[in-house]
Amino acid sequence: MRGGADSLHGLLLRWLLPPLLALLILASWASYFGAHVAVTRAFDRSLLDPVQALSQHIVFERGHPVLMLSQDTLRPLFTHVYDTAYFQISDEHGHQFAGDLTLPVPPKISNKPQFYDATYDNQAVRVVAMRVDLDSDPAVEEVPHFVIVQIAQTLIRRDRNLYELMALMVAPALVIAIAAGLLVSVGVTKGLKPLHALQQEIASRSHLDLRPVPVDHAPLEVRPVVVSLNALLGELAAVMEGQQRFLANAAHQLRTPLAGLHTQVELLLREQMPEHTAQVLNTLLDATRRATHLANQLLTLARAEPTTEHLVNRQAVDLSVMVEAGMVAWLARARSKHIDLGFELLPAVCAGDALLLPELFANLIDNALRYTPDGGVITVRTYAAGGVAMLEVEDNGMGIPEAQREKVLERFYRVAGSPGNGCGLGLSIVAEIVRQHQASLQILTPVHGAGTLMRVSFSVCT
């Protein structure tokens, strides 16, 4: 898909609404055509009444046709509220002898009325022309005679009636079309709700939640896609489980020989030896410590990455008690670097894993001790505020540039130029444990403007 414009909802509406609009236009055109024909026929028939009235009062006298009606008698026949009517009577030779029209006589005129459109006095008019046979004047000759009667009328009343009729016909169709469009839109939205529910089910998961997607709630047309997706998720789960098992086993297997190596090097350093040999052994001891630290962090990372969320064993954990439990070891390490490590601990009970939360704190405090220079200050705080349990570790070290605060949560990433021999896994472990607990992690600048403030917020356990 190329974007939101190609969504299934939009695609269905584009397939349904334009044909509906086309049908409305077609129906409106058909209604207009039908209304125009009906109005035209009705008004054309009304034009025949003056023709009949005039033809009954035309006689031949002395060889010429004569209209036997006065102007006062003619006026009611051609006076209307909206329209203006005109008439013209011509003899068989085309000479006009009555009326006020100046229209040409149509060719091939017959006794059947002939209707046509014309222009008179710069106005559009509707004209009826008809041949009317008259009795001859016996005193002159017995030759039959006829006259041509033409009646013209403006179109104001016709158009008005046509528009009124169109309004009566199109307005309901328009209302029905709008209602149908709304029903189509609502129907498409309702019909796509199972797909939205499926999308939300998948979107709400983490990248490690590889449980099969429920197939029963999916529409029949989508079920093959869900089945294929579940098969892919199963394969990914198997791969990730194997990867985690390998990582945990490798880290666990490394810890024993590394611990033995560490012990042996320390024992060697107690013996008398040349200075350069002691330097080599100290270097080896430092490397062994780094390797042991890396193995421990890899093992922690393997434990912090379950393939499903339900593997986190939640229970009530007081963050202040958790911090106090490991306080002695961290104070000893801080004294070795002449760092002022302080604790401001207030009760802060959250729902968490009693094994993972100490790992989270251990990596936070280890990170602070590792990157805070000798003689620095570190403060650990726990407290509850606004329904949130807080754990904070603040230092006055080199700090983390704001542009890199997201990147330091990635595995093996280290800020360029940072001191120490860290492996870049500590904060990624913290981020993973935070995600497992649906908590939040903020990397801030302390109020005094130097160093780093790591703040983890958990939901208070009630």
Q: Which CATH number goes with the domain that contains 404?
A: 3.30.565.10
pTM given for the model: 0.46
Sign of the Cα pseudo-torsion (177, 182, 185, 188, in order): negative
Same domain flag for 19 and 83 = yes
Contacts of 456 (CB under 8 A, 6+ apart): 360, 364, 390, 391, 392, 430, 434, 439, 440, 441, 442
Same domain flag for 298 and 326 = no
| DSSP states of 310-346 | GGS-EEEEEHHHHHHHTHHHHHHHHHHTT-EEEEEE-
Q: Which of 275, 302, 329 is the last residue of a domain?
A: 302
Place of tokens 């009636």: 161
Asked if 196 and 220 count as a contact pair (C-beta separation under 8 A), the reply is: no
Same domain flag for 273 and 329 = no
CA distance linking residue 179 with residue 185, whole number of Å: 10
Q: Which of 111, 130, 163 is the last residue of a domain?
A: 163
Mean pLDDT of the chain: 79
Q: What is the pLDDT of residue 166?
A: 78
Mean pLDDT of 66-83: 75
Same domain flag for 412 and 434 = yes
Lookup: tokens for 114: 């002939």
Mean pLDDT of 371-400: 90
- The answer to whether residue 172 is domain-embedded is no
Same domain flag for 365 and 248 = no
User: Collapsing DSSP states into helix, strand and coil, what is residue 410?
Assistant: coil
Q: What is the CATH number of the domain that holds 287?
A: 1.10.287.130
Same domain flag for 56 and 148 = yes
Q: What is the pLDDT of residue 158?
A: 85
CA distance linking residue 281 with residue 277, whole number of Å: 6
- The answer to whether residue 41 is domain-embedded is yes
Q: What is the pLDDT of residue 246?
A: 66
How do the residues of the chain divide into helix, strand and coil, expressed in percent and rounded to 5? 50, 20, 30
> Binning pLDDT at 50, 70 and 90, where does residue 453 land?
very high
Give Cα separations from 276 to 193, 271, 351 (angstroms): 74, 13, 53
| DSSP states of 64-107 | EEEE---HHHHGGGGB-SS-BEEEEEE-TTS-EEEES--PPPPS
Q: What is the CATH number of the domain that holds 79?
A: 3.30.450
Q: What is the pLDDT of residue 108?
A: 80
Same domain flag for 55 and 87 = yes
User: Collapsing DSSP states into helix, strand and coil, what is residue 119?
Assistant: strand
Residues 316-356: tens digit of each pLDDT: 999 999 999 888 888 988 998 899 999 999 999 998 888 88
Give Cα separations from 47 to 77, 133, 134, 162, 270 (angstroms): 10, 19, 20, 17, 131
Is pLDDT at 12 greater than 70 in this prediction?
yes
- The answer to whether residue 102 is domain-embedded is yes
- The answer to whether residue 178 is domain-embedded is no
Q: Which of 111, 144, 163 is the last residue of a domain?
A: 163
User: Collapsing DSSP states into helix, strand and coil, what is residue 117?
Assistant: strand
CA distance linking residue 44 with residue 164, whole number of Å: 18
Q: What is the pLDDT of residue 318?
A: 93
Asked if 350 and 323 count as a contact pair (C-beta separation under 8 A), the reply is: no
> Binning pLDDT at 50, 70 and 90, where does residue 5 land?
very low
Domain ranges, residue 329: 312-459
Same domain flag for 18 and 41 = yes
CA distance linking residue 393 with residue 366, whole number of Å: 10
Q: Which of 394, 391, 377, 376 is nearest to 445 (CA)?
A: 394
> Binning pLDDT at 50, 70 and 90, where does residue 176 land?
confident
Cα torsion 239, 244, 250, 252 to 10°: value is -150
Same domain flag for 156 and 240 = no
Mean pLDDT of 284-297: 71
H-type alpha helices, 93-222:
156-191, 193-203
- The answer to whether residue 199 is domain-embedded is no
Q: What is the pLDDT of residue 390?
A: 93
Q: What is the CB-side half-sphere exposure of residue 109 using CA atoms within 13 A?
A: 23
Q: Which H or E run contains 122?
A: none
Asked if 459 and 388 count as a contact pair (C-beta separation under 8 A), the reply is: yes
Give Cα separations from 436 to 206, 301, 357, 433 (angstroms): 9, 12, 10, 5
- The answer to whether residue 25 is domain-embedded is yes
Asked if 180 and 24 count as a contact pair (C-beta separation under 8 A), the reply is: no
- The answer to whether residue 192 is domain-embedded is no
Q: Which H or E run contains 31?
A: helix 8-55
Sign of the Cα pseudo-torsion (345, 349, 350, 354, in order): positive
Same domain flag for 347 and 247 = no
Residues 255-277: tens digit of each pLDDT: 667 777 777 777 777 778 888 88
Name the domain count of the chain: 3
Q: What is the CB-side half-sphere exposure of residue 150 using CA atoms within 13 A?
A: 28
CA distance linking residue 445 with residue 447, whole number of Å: 7
Q: Which of 99, 108, 74, 195 is nearest to 150 (CA)?
A: 99
User: Collapsing DSSP states into helix, strand and coil, what is residue 149?
Assistant: strand
Is pLDDT at 426 greater than 50 in this prediction?
yes
- The answer to whether residue 383 is domain-embedded is yes
Same domain flag for 50 and 129 = yes
Same domain flag for 15 and 104 = yes
